[in-house]
Chain A
Amino acid sequence: TQLLEQSPQFLSIQEGENLTVYCNSSSVFSSLQWYRQEPGEGPVLLVTVVTGGEVKKLKRLTFQFGDARKDSSLHITAAQPGDTGLYLCAGAQGAQKLVFGQGTRLTINP
């Protein structure tokens, strides 16, 4: 099983600050996805990155896929309390299953 190391696992910052979450592996993935999960609910897909070096933006969220397709990052600019949640990266192993990172529990304090 290919492992995804996600860091940090916990992050608590003040509203307005910037933050970056990292997702690293020694293995190459065909694609990598970022999800956000609220308590008691299933994960919701934020973005999928496929091409090495790809950068995607979703409002204040910027996602980057490493050139070698082994790592990815999620950067949030000017974080807001509504950004609070569990963020999960997941790497695709071919056309089948996803392997999830440990998750980053983000808390944005007003």
Chain B
Amino acid sequence: GAVVSQHPSWVICKSGTSVKIECRSLDFQATTMFWYRQFPKQSLMLMATSNEGSKATYEQGVEKDKFLINHASLTLSTLTVTSAHPEDSSFYICSARGGAGEDGANVLTFGAGSRLTVL
């Protein structure tokens, strides 16, 4: 089945630094990837849609200059949290559309997530 690899799985950084998280589709090409943020004991909140070769589409309230997304190839999307602050600490999850499901439905495969802690 489709596999999405996310790296790093956890990262600790100092306030003011930037952190890059990678999302790779290992055995399929993904023209579209999605980035989510999840706070403890809460659901996933869509941050942005990453489109290969074009600019990402950000959800309302998500700062595009704060969360830089690059989707330079069909198998890799990156999320860079710039000038990170403690309130950016969260669980970030990516997903990629890996083809149609058994009923032709939209099927996403999720990465294992990246836990960011900003000190």
Contacts and interface: CB of A to CB of B under 8 A. Distances in A.
Interface in A1-60: 1, 6, 30-31, 33, 35, 40-45, 48, 50-51
Interface stretch (B40-48, B71-79, B82-90): B40-48
A103 B43 CA distance: 6
Contacts of A92: 105-106
Interface residues of B, number: 31
B105 A42 contact: no
A102 interface: yes
Nearest to B40: A39
B108 A98 contact: yes
A102 B103 CA distance: 25
Interface stretch (B12-20, B62-70, B110-118): B110-118
B47 to A, nearest CB: 11
B110 A43 contact: yes
A42 B104 CA distance: 23
B115 A98 contact: no
Nearest to A93: B106
Interface of A: 1, 6, 30-31, 33, 35, 40-45, 48, 50-51, 88, 92, 94-103, 105
- Give the 9 A-B residue pairs with the shortest CB-CB distance, closest first: A42-B110, A31-B105, A50-B103, A103-B43, A92-B106, A48-B105, A100-B44, A100-B43, A42-B112
Interface of B: 4, 6, 32, 34, 36, 41-46, 49, 59-60, 91, 93, 95, 101-113, 115
